Amino acid sequence: MLKRLSKDIKKLNTKKKTTIKDIANVLNISAAAVSKALHDDSRISKKTKKAVKQVAKNLNYQPNHLASALRKGKSNLVGVIVPRTNSNFFSSVIQNIEEVLNKEGYNIIITQSNESFKKECDNIDTLLFTQVDGIIASMANETIDLEYYEKVKAKGIPLILFDRGENDLNVDYIGINDYKSSHIIVEHLVNQGRKRIAHIGGFKRTRIFNNRIKGYIDALKKHNLPLDNELLIESSLTIEDGKQKMLELLKLTKKPDAVYVASDYAALGALQTLKEQNIKVPEDIALVGFGDEQFTAVVTPSISSINQHSAEIGKQAALTFLSYAKKKTVKQTLNKIILDAELVIRASSK
């Protein structure tokens, strides 16, 4: 008997994917009995459960979560879309989403758009095909057309946006007060005696970057500082962008005495350019970033930056999804959580 089982298992192991029926054939029991044993059904004996689980392990059996989700109408999976995972902000958000959801029996599927609209659309299609119970997302820089997100809403799947999100979608949103953040930064720089403050920002088409630009402009007016269009630059906010845009600012006849950058990565690039040009930071030009990435505290000089409260954003995003899951319906009253920004002052602007 044992020899026959061993031979059957070796034969089945040459197949690409093991099914419940394969396990049933090896043990000469019904597929229904195998399914019940794998789910610890009380009607199945301990001996049979043990045998089923051992054969399943030997055959490298993997449950078909998609088929199970289709049967139950629930997958216990939540899709998370982020622009990139190599950011302390996004990785912290993901970690906290996962911690909250795991305690409630959910697992997450992480996808990244790499700031590409097409990749983001592909991610949404994949998550919908996987029958996720909800999607928590931060949009790519390139995203303007909201059709794919409308598709999620049309299917009645809970959609929660964080950090980057569009008001036109009318969905739950968790983020910080980007407009107020700019006021805090400009005020700090003014208090350091700076009068010609530049802003390397993101693209106006993205709501959070538009709010940061508006906040910057209004903060200059508040402190009776002139708005010079040469000092306001839009970019993709990569490290390379930071280098190039800083070079552009240094070529101006009247250089800035402070630069507020809407991303720590671009701020790092700007700092590299300033060092290469032998410009002292903060003596000649003060510098402030955005995001409080881990490297901001260890570079020389350390970079002042806005703390975006990533842990709290992740927790609130997960709790918002769970409020839908527990009610089993998409509620009418939307959750809009806007957290206050906090400026972490370091050597680059002090």
Please state the pTM of the whole predicted model. 0.79
Alpha-carbon gap, residue 307 to 167, rounded angstroms: 23
Q: What are phi and psi of 259, to 5 degrees?
A: -135, 125
289-338 pLDDT tens trace: 999 999 999 999 999 999 999 999 999 999 999 999 887 665 556 789 99
Alpha-carbon gap, residue 250 to 252, rounded angstroms: 5
Q: Do the domains at 2-63 and 178-308 have one common CATH topology?
A: no
Strand ranges, E, within the chain: 77-82, 107-112, 134-137, 159-162, 172-176, 197-201, 232-234, 258-261, 286-288, 305-307, 336-339, 342-344
Domain 2-63 in CATH 1.10.260: yes
pLDDT score recorded for residue 73 = 65
79-128 pLDDT tens trace: 999 999 988 899 999 999 999 999 999 999 999 999 999 999 999 999 99
Q: Which helix (H) or strand (E) holds 51?
A: helix 46-58
pLDDT score recorded for residue 329 = 62
Which amino acid, one-letter code, is at 308? Answer: Q
pLDDT score recorded for residue 70 = 57
Domain 76-175+310-338 in CATH 3.30.420.40: no
Residue 24 confidence class, pLDDT cut points 50, 70, 90: confident
Structure token pair of residue 102 = 């795991």
Instruction: Sketch the domain layout of the chain as residue ranges.
Output: 2-63, 76-175+310-338, 178-308
In this predicted structure, the answer to whether residue 277 has a pLDDT above a threshold of 90 is: yes
Q: Which of 117, 119, 155 is nearest to 135 (CA)?
A: 155
The mean pLDDT of the chain is 90
Mean pLDDT of 187-205: 96
Cβ neighbors of 169 (< 8 A, separation 6 or more) are 146, 149, 150, 153, 159, 161
SS3 category, 154: helix
Q: Helices 46-58 & 2-12, crossing angle to 10 degrees?
A: 40
- Domain 178-308 in this protein, CATH class: alpha beta
The size of the chain, in residues, is 350
Residue 2 confidence class, pLDDT cut points 50, 70, 90: very low
